[in-house]
Structure 1
Amino acid sequence: MKPGSASEKNGRASLSRHRSVWEMRSDGWIGLVDDLSRLAILPPEHPERERRLAHVRAIVEQLAPVESYWAFPGGRVFSELAQWIERDELARAHQAARRIHRVLAARTYRHDVNTLDSDNELPSQIETDSERQAQLARPYFEVLIVDEMSASEEDALRRRVQRKRNAEDDFIFDVVVVPSFEDALIATLVNFNLQAVVIRHGFPFRSVNHNDMLRRFLDGMDEGIEKMAEFERGPLLGRQIAQIRPELDLYLVTDVNVEAIAAQVGEVFKRIFFGEEDHIELYSSIMKGVGERHRTPFFNALRDYAKQPTGVFHALPLARGKSIMNSNWIGDLAQFYGMNLFMAETSATSGGLDSLLDPVGPLKTAQEYAARAFGARRTYFATNGTSTCNKIVVQALVRPDDIVLVDRNCHKSHHYGLVLAGAQVAYLDSYPLDQYSMYGAVPIRHIKQTLLDFRRAGTLDRVRMVLLTNCTFDGIVYDVERVMMECLAIKPDLVFLWDEAWFAFARCHPIYRQRTGMASAARLCETLKDPAYAKRHAAFSEGFDWDDEQRVLDTRLLPDPAKTRVRVYATHSTHKTLTALRQGSMIHVWDQDFKDKAEEAFHEAYMTHTSTSPNYQILASLDVGRRQVELEGYELIQRQLELAMSLREQVLHHPLLKRYFRFLRVSDVVPTEYRESGVESYYNDENGWNNLEAAWRTDEFALDPTRATLTIGATGMDGDTFKNKELMDRYGIQINKTSRNTVLFMTNIGTTRSAVAYLIEVLVKIARDVDQRISDMSAIERRIHEKRVRSLTLEQPPLPDFSSFHFAFRGRSVEGRAGTRDGDIRSAFFLSYDDANCEYIDMAEAAKAIQAGRDLVSALFVIPYPPGFPILVPGQVISAEILQFMAALDVREIHGFRPELGFRIFNDAALSRAAQATAARAALALSGRAAQPQEKDGEIKAAATTTPAEAARASSTTRSEE
């Protein structure tokens, strides 16, 4: 076949549709086996033969460089297969390709090193318990060797590694040899089996592979590396691999001054060896390094405890399963769960176990391993979900009257945590997406403006924390490092709490990782220590007018490295996106001042909110989930990402589905002004994933592609109906996020291609049903349906911004009456406990009262589901816009609102008393005296007298200034 022939071009075109090299590899082997099976029986003169042979050669051309980055089948074996095809030994090639594909699909190469040596038919999966136990008992991994080697040298190396295998080894590994700097980076990104990299002395920069799909991994590579001396490339390669996949163990083998190199880059490499003098030690080091990540100290301790004979003479009749085994009626519980669950049930903290509240043994070690895995300085486990984690962090860091900047649409646990902490809350508004009845995220400009407002008011010193959700339920992700840098430029001691409940998985993937709280904190710390940054900051600050607020807002700010402290906390719902039992969560800390300013308070808050009887099974699952993150997290997240993109592409191109459904793209949920890259869709056939990577590097907000929001308004069904009556009741598909005209599908590490196929099948069935219903409608029914569709697609109620806190709940922020946004939700929250302070008002009466000029102030959190954010918080003024939004909602579930009664609001007498207390505090503060208001029986007693008229005037003045 001549290069560039029509047949070859067609073959390449059929492969170019793949979204990733992994999908291409999988489908390539399927196509190769299929074509070879047909070619093996076609006569030479058959007209279809040349076309299929051209397609086979195109597949081989695509697969050859990819297979060179895996130990199985490996470049040498694949090269032999390609030679059989070129020699027209197609029957032999088909048999070999079929066997290789079966081994790859079954992954039997992971526990049987001789899978290609037998002539027997291979099973399509691991079918026997012994085979499965072999794989579990001795997990398999691959080691990347970066060195120029001949084929014979590579074979000799592989034989040497195999000879070192011992039946007592905990793992087995094979080697992959690549000859260049570029090949090493590609292999690191392509090969999921890698657990260690050995970088040898001296190798070229350029790869000889020119596969377009593989070259995309190298976009942005610094061409200057090619001019470096070969002995300098090893340490640089190690640093780059550590940034891409920090979980890998790196080893350097060099022939130059090993001591000097160890001093310079020792923190990157696990060990540095001189030449070949310690090849036995290198083998042992590799095994030990993987063993450290594989070790699960608490899970192992709990498993060992379950095997011990124990007499229980304290709490928990369920311990050791005794209350079940002695029962005539509840034996089915053990049958359902299995006895190991109950054998491990205990309230003991001895016998090899540990205390969550004061860990000194395996739990302490497990949390240290988790900190390593997630890039934190310290990590704490929680068994009460991220709701508890959020309250712990807030209580530990926020004191009464501290001001906290909070995304109004954050999880309700933050609102309640701030009530308990007694914070002054300044709610931030996310940009609205009215057409989809959802919010995006809080623009950095809005956060900066809020900080400047406090500076102008003279209360910036009281601003303690910025609390944001990353990523949001709908998948909007912040540029975390930029947010922190610009905020710290205005107030260098700010604390950041990033609620990453839905983003725990992000650590595993290089694209996601850069926008996590912990990775950004580490990077920011390194930046601030860099002398080059100090010079950059000096140039920036010279002549910069900090009093020019417009310039401050329009400029990308740089914090002062001499003053800035990096204090970052992140909370993870590990159970939501990684492997852990429900309520298993973690708190990650990167706080330079933790020891001096937070440790004692943190431990007290942890004691306050953590159960003294934590569930050990949850803790063990967190330990095992951490192991999975370090050993196969990258593979699982990449697969999750690909399945999400596959789902999106199927709906986009299906002729029936695209009539009623559409998955939102980044351009739909991130407005143009926040997309510096200009990228509208993260994937296309021309650029592959490059759009995704470019946008995540530069844009203020990015979209997590694994959050697939489907618009359904064209069906005439709202989100709640679609979720419950169609997806759940009819087809058993579970989701938990809807808006008025959208439903959210999330892929996760447990999602399979079969699950995605089933979802597509269900969507097709629903679309056909809708099609059939519309075709059967009468003219009147059709007009009703069209009106419903128009309402869902074109007539969405505008999402209301946060109105304001009533003057009565402005607390100390009324000092100077400078129009800051903060309020005291704690006093409002507890004031509502006394029914004498409250009344109810329905929607119609509320509208008339607002029009007449009365201040209606909510006594409760009011949260419609969907969209699931608080429309009102205690102490907030009910605005006409909020009423309009509430009236337009067609959802059944609204927490804090009783349809038969209406809104629970504060009556005028309660507001008057509260306003008097607030005005008194303001007066005393302005005169330099301290006020001490007292609370009794839900009524706030003022320390000084202010008439209701004066309070009303003060309230009016404050709102007008806002």
Structure 2
Amino acid sequence: MVRKEKGREACVRGNDSYFGERQKRAPLYERLEQHAMRRPHSFHVPGHKMGHSFDAGARDRYQGILELDMTEISGLDDLHQPQGVIAEAQALAAEAFGAEETRFLIGGSTVGNLALIMAVCRPGEKILVQRNCHKSVYHGIMLARAKPVFLVPAVDLATGTAAGVRREDVERALLAHPDAKAVFLTNPTYYGMGIDLKKMADVVHRHGVPLLVDEAHGAHFGFHPAFPLSAMQSGADAAVQSTHKMVSALTMSSMLHVQGKRIDRERLFRHLAMLQSSSPSYPLMASLDLARRHLVTQAPQEWDQLLPLLDKLRERTARLSWMRWPVLSESSVYATLDPLKLFLHLLTDDLDGFAVQQMMEEHGIFPELADTSHVLLAASAGTSARDLDALARLLESIEPGVKSRKERIIQAGTVSSHYIRETVLPMHEVVDLPRETLPLEQAMGRVVVEMVVPYPPGIPILVPGERIDEQSMSMLLELRASSTRFHGVQDERLQTIQVLAYKS
């Protein structure tokens, strides 16, 4: 079905009339249910035997899942050689998401990102990469021993956060590096900001290379007229989606969608088989089957109810002087904004994002992440009016405690420099070289051998082989003081950091 939205055509797939009856099926889940109903005698793994042997204190909570926790026995197919119900479930997912082929990922979007990069790049080959990408993209580059050409993102001056990359920057990089094997972008960002991916795909394809998209936070895109088009609808060659993040699959359940002839699918699926577990979880795979069915048959109606409530929340809190919600305008550096992401930007010196997060959690409201200037909350079709009313009341209660207001003025060059580092050595080389541990304050000018990743959102400030400069040091000290959690480092408190040892 095609609906008009804000002057553009949006192909909305999430409705029964678009697909017909077949999308109401969930073949993998249905087969697991049929098997459980037979009350079979289990002489195969897993050892809990459909829940007959399990911790007594937790058995009641887990029992329904344990009965579906199976292995590759007759009739249940095999993820690594699908020919039955898994193949059928993946085919239904491909149809729903507008792909030529879809593969289930039991390892999150991480495993899809790794496989994509290893499929398109051989050792020493270049790949254009958005600098504010997830750490899994860097890990994929390291495993492939590829050479990244980093694309610096545009910065939203209203919030100081990095958005997507500009088409002209990608075009310029492709002209400067005609031997690049692919362009890898993140769309949308963690905060819900996106680019015009269709126009970007046109630019990339003019240079004859594939466009790969980490669409972890956009599995719902294209299923409602209020949402942007998906990567598949926009012409990307491959997209990885965390089907558990913004829609209803179980945590760690994701999908990889592929279309066109620019990617060697045999090589891609071979790498995927190496990276995925040889004992994939059937409850996780079945949740992907059900999430796809829910997206098509139920979620659009739930969003119809939710979206006006989100509008009311923003209207209700718009008068608060200490905070602001991002608003898409003609001057925005991003082209799309996910209405499900509630991205709170602070305009006061009296509070930081961590303090607001603490207040929220004291009232039973648990946001997705916080930093010094922001709090991010992720809504979904499962968000209720009660949830939003509790949030609104909490935000309204904070205002009397704010004594002063400061408009934060962001300089584009300052924020962009967060993503510009001197690369001294390739990532995959430096991690195997001799290292030493120094107090963070003494590491200025040294080459880092760890990946320094504030988490969430999982976007590295420094990657192995980059030199620690004044800008990155300032950011690390500020984040450390605010009790940010760090991944990728030996010292999670970041009192110390590992750097390349000087040659004696």
Instruction: Provide the C-alpha distance between the structure 1 equivalents of 2:14 and 2:378, rounded to a whole number of angstroms.
Output: 26
Structure 1 residue 245: Cα displacement:
4.7
| Partner of residue 217, structure 2 | 502
Contact 1:436–1:739 at 8 Å: present in 2 too?
A: no
SS of 2:437's equivalent in the other structure is strand
Corresponding position of 2:331: 672
d(CA) in 1 for partners of 2:6 and 2:119?
44
Residue 613 of structure 1 aligns to a residue in which SS?
Answer: coil
C-alpha contact 1:581 1:621 (8 A) present in aligned 2? yes
Q: Which amino acid aligns with 1:368?
A: A
Match of 1:577, as an amino acid? M
How many residue pairs get aligned? The number is 497
Q: 2:476 aligns with which of 873, 881, 886?
A: 886
* AA of the residue aligned to 1:805: T
Partner residue, 2:322: 660
Identical pairs, percent? 26
Equivalences for 1:847-866 in 2 at 5 Å? 847=444, 850=445, 856-865=446-455
Structure 2 SS opposite 1:482? helix
Tell me, yes or no, if the aligned pair for 1:864 and 1:891 is still in contact at 8 Å. no
RMSD: 2.8
Aligned ranges 1:376-415 → 2 under 5 Å: 376-415=99-138
In the TM superposition, what whole-angstrom CA distance separates every residue of 1:780-801 from its partner, at most 9, and x where no partner exists?
xxxxxx6xx75x9469994323
Offset at residue 897 of structure 1 (A): 7.4
1:517 aligns with 2:183: no
Among 423, 448, 453, the alignment partner of 2:176 is 453
The answer to whether residue 297 in structure 2 is matched with residue 297 in structure 1 is no
- Between the aligned partners of 2:396 and 2:201, the Cα distance in structure 1 is 45
CA distance in 2, matches of 1:375, 1:301: 25
2:141 corresponds to 1:418: yes
Assess if the C-alpha contact under 8 Å between 1:434 and 1:798 holds in 2: no
How far apart, in 2, do the equivalents of 1:396 and 1:900 lie?
34
For residues 147-186 of structure 1, the aligned pairs below 5 Å read none
The 3-state SS of whatever aligns with 1:637 is: helix
Contact 1:740 1:867 in 2 (8 A): no
| Residue 318 (structure 1) aligned with residue 86 (structure 2) | no
Of the candidates 64, 68, 72, which is equivalent to residue 344 of structure 1? 68
Structure 2 residue aligned with 1:471: 188
Residues 640 and 706 of structure 1 are in contact (CA less than 8 Å); yes or no, is this contact kept in structure 2?
Answer: no
The separation in 1 between residues aligned to 2:159 and 2:83, in whole angstroms, is: 50
- Cα distance change on mapping 1:592 and 1:247 into 2, 3 Å: farther
Gapped regions of structure 2 (runs ≥ 5): none
Output the TM-score relative to the length of structure 1. 0.49
Cα distance between partner residues in 2 of 1:734 and 1:649: 21
Query: 1:740–1:866: 8 Å Cα contact kept in structure 2?
Result: no
Q: Residue deviations 1:689-735, cap 9 Å, x none?
A: xxxxxxxxxxx622222222112342722112221x2111x111111
- The 1:798–1:864 alpha-carbon spacing in structure 2 relative to 1, beyond 3 Å, is farther
Shift of 1:766: 2.9
Does the CA-based 8 Å contact 2:317-2:396 persist in structure 1? no
Structure of higher RCO (CA pairs closer than 8 Å, 6+ residues apart): 2
Q: Does 625-634 or 743-752 show the bigger shift? A: 625-634
Task: Name the CA shift for 1:399/1:628 in 2 (closer, same or farther; >3 Å).
Answer: same
| Aligned counterparts of 2:5 and 2:131: Cα–Cα separation in 1 | 41
User: Cα distance, 1:900 vs. partner?
Assistant: 7.2
Gaps of 5+ in 1: 1-184, 190-216, 222-239, 251-288, 325-329, 455-459, 522-566, 675-699, 775-785, 810-823, 832-836, 851-855, 911-962
- Kindly tell me: are residues 314 and 633 of structure 1, through their superposed partners in 2, closer, same or farther at Cα, counting changes over 3 Å? closer
In structure 2, how many angstroms separate the alpha carbons of the residues matched to 1:845 and 1:290? 64
Q: Which amino acid aligns with 1:584?
A: S
Partner of 1:708: 342
2:421 is aligned with 1:803: yes
Supply the AA of the counterpart residue of 2:469. S
Written as runs of structure 1 = structure 2, the 5 A alignment for 1:234-633 is 243-245=11-13, 247-249=15-17, 290-324=20-54, 330-337=55-62, 339-350=63-74, 352-433=75-156, 436-454=159-177, 460-461=178-179, 463-489=180-206, 491-492=207-208, 494-514=209-229, 516-521=230-235, 568-594=237-263, 598-633=264-299
Separation (CA, whole Å) in 1 of partners of 2:203 and 2:429: 32
Tell me the residue number matched to 1:764.
396
Give 1:90's aligned residue.
Answer: none
SS at match of 1:908: coil
The alpha carbon displacement at 1:666 in A equals 2.5
Amino acid at match of 1:483: M
Distance 2:442 2:51 in 1: 59
Amino acid of the structure 2 residue aligned with 1:827: E
The equivalent of 1:875 in structure 2 is 465
Alpha-carbon shift at residue 413 of structure 1 (Å):
0.8
Q: Give, in whole Å, the separation in 1 of the partners of 2:477 and 2:389.
A: 39
Q: Is the 8 A contact 2:328 2:336 kept in 1?
A: yes
Q: Is the 8 A contact 1:430 1:441 kept in 2?
A: yes
**Distance in structure 2 (CA, Å) of the matches to 1:420 and 1:569:** 19
- Structure-2 residue corresponding to 1:201: none
The answer to whether the 8 Å contact 1:865/1:891 transfers is no
User: Which of 877, 880, 902 is matched with 2:496 structurally?
Assistant: 902
Distance 1:672 1:607, change over 3 A: same
CA distance in structure 1 between the partners assigned to 2:168 and 2:299 by the alignment: 35
Q: Residues 737 and 437 from structure 1, CA distance in 2 versus in 1: closer, same or farther, beyond 3 angstroms? A: farther
Which residue of structure 2 lines up, in the alignment, with residue 722 of structure 1?
356
The Cα shift of 1:464 comes to 0.8
Q: CA 1:300/1:702 → structure 2, altered by over 3 Å: closer, same or farther?
A: same
**2: CA distance, partners of 1:840 / 1:340:** 48
User: Which range moves more in the overlay, 471-480 or 435-444?
Assistant: 435-444
Contact 1:569-1:587 within 8 A present in 2 as well = yes
Q: Is the 8 A contact 2:243 2:288 kept in 1?
A: yes
Is 1:438–1:867's contact at 8 Å kept on the other side of the alignment? Answer: no
* Higher alpha-carbon Rg: 1
Maintained 8 Å contact 2:243/2:253: yes
Take 2:232 and 2:348, find their aligned partners in 1: how far apart are those partners? 41
TM-score of the superposed pair, with normalisation by structure 2: 0.90
**Structure 1 residue 312: deviation in Å?**
2.2
Specify the code of the residue in structure 2 equivalent to 1:336: R
Aligned equivalents of 1:430, 1:436: Cα separation in 2: 14
CA distance in 2, matches of 1:220, 1:883: 45
**Partner of residue 126, structure 1:** none
1:391 and 1:488 mapped to 2: Cα distance?
22
Provide the residue aligned with 1:825 in structure 2.
427
Matching of residue 646 in structure 1 with residue 312 in structure 2: yes
Check whether the contact 2:228–2:336 (CA below 8 A) recurs between aligned residues.
no
Letter in 1 for 2:375: V
| Structure 1 residue 867: Cα displacement | 6.5
In structure 2, how many angstroms separate the alpha carbons of the residues matched to 1:218 and 1:666? 15
Structure 1 residue identity aligned to 2:502:
D
The Cα of 1:633 is off from its aligned counterpart by 3.4
Residues 335 and 424 (structure 1), Cα distance of their counterparts in 2 relative to 1, 3 Å cut? same
* 1:856-885 residue CA offsets vs partner (Å, 9 max, x unmatched): 211111223467521211111222332233
Q: 1:246 to 1:757 in 2, by over 3 A?
A: closer
Matches of 1:219 and 1:346 in 2, distance apart? 47
CA distance in 2, matches of 1:302, 1:752: 31
Counterpart Cα distance in 2 of 1:589 and 1:735? 32
Greater per-residue helix proportion: 1
> Are the counterparts in 2 of residues 711 and 741 from structure 1 also a CA contact under 8 Å?
yes
* Residues 431 and 440 in structure 1, CA contact (< 8 A), matched pair in contact too: yes
SS in 2 for 1:666: coil
Residue by residue, what CA displacement relative to the aligned partner does 1:442-476 show, whole Å, maximum 9, x if unpaired? Answer: 1122222222222xxxxx22x11111111001111
- Once the two structures are superposed, residues 619-657 of structure 1 have per-residue CA deviations (whole angstroms, 9 ceiling, x without a partner) of 11111111112223332334343332221111014xxxx
Equivalence for 1:96:
none
Partner of 1:272: none
SS at match of 1:575: coil
- Partner deviation per Cα, 1:56-101 (whole Å, 9 max, x = no partner): xxxxxxxxxxxxxxxxxxxxxxxxxxxxxxxxxxxxxxxxxxxxxx
Give the drift of 1:427. 1.5
Q: Deviations over 1:540-583 (max 9, x none)?
A: xxxxxxxxxxxxxxxxxxxxxxxxxxx61001111111111111
